[in-house]
Amino acid sequence: MRPTPSLDALKEQIEFFVDAVAGYNSDFVLFPELFNAPLLAKYNDLVEAKAMRELASYSEPLLAYFKELAVSYNVNIITGSYPVLEDERLYNVSHLCLRDGAFEEYRKIHITPSELTAWGISGGNHLGVFDTDCGKIGIVICYDVEFPELGRLYADQGVQVLFVPFLTDTQNGYHRVKRCAQARAIENEYYVAIAGCVGNLPKVNNMDIQYAQSAVFTPADFAFPENAIKAQATPNTEMTLIVDVDLDLLRELNTKGSVRNLRDRRKDLYNLKLKKS
């Protein structure tokens, strides 16, 4: 997070990070939740709900720009999230922009009390599970990762890497996201990558501070780091993480792990069902 006077300036910042990560032949780039919040500064005269709807006007050009970058830099981009207005309802949306030019959409399912009361955001109704040229991935946004049922539904659909853009302003909020993401990685036997905003926005009402530490978490077994953390950024510092993960280790874990959380479920006692497809 840094003061951004215009959409063009924000685009320059976006391309800087895409260029930096793609330079390492990365397959995916993950941006944070509501990374375009600096653009709210020009709407400080409006109440929060109206300001967020003004911010939604930038989402279409941002999506077009991400799609262009995905193709030109040959990398799959998870666009973090931004507000999208549809039929007078506001959603917190992330897009997966594939390097072949296609794109997918995920709408945050679980809406925090402040998102609901301050911004009037509505929850989505569909899972964010997608096939890519590097395996099956899932996308959830911030608060979503704190619901174990959702993470297990993703595992049942074969997700190998779960991407979690988030935005938290306090350390206790961050640690909720972090520890729940770690739990999802262990109990569902997949990798979890989280990316959050850092820095201050003193000129943006109600979005003036952020706290984050981006990271990639793994299952907890002998083939993975002993602390189940593949890599993590310096706390509350702007930086990038370049991380390699081995999907073959997930398949071995599922059949030969010292514990097998997915296989050892007592489905004779309990079950989990998705009501909407």
- Residues 162, 174: Cα–Cα separation, whole Å: 17
| 149 catalytic residue (yes or no) | no
Distances (CA, A) of 79 to 83, 85, 91, 125: 12, 17, 15, 19
Amino acid at 22: A
- How many residues appear in the chain? 277
User: Residues 91, 121: contact at Cβ < 8 Å?
Assistant: yes
Contacts of 88 (CB under 8 A, 6+ apart): none
Instruction: Pick the catalytic residue from 142, 178, 180, 230.
Output: 142
User: Residues 95, 63: contact at Cβ < 8 Å?
Assistant: yes
Amino acid at 181: A
| 33 catalytic residue (yes or no) | yes
| 197 catalytic residue (yes or no) | no
Instruction: Pick the catalytic residue from 48, 67, 108, 178.
Output: 108
Instruction: Pick the catalytic residue from 33, 48, 146, 189.
Output: 33
Token code pair at residue 134: 């590097």
Q: Catalytic residue positions?
A: 33, 108, 142
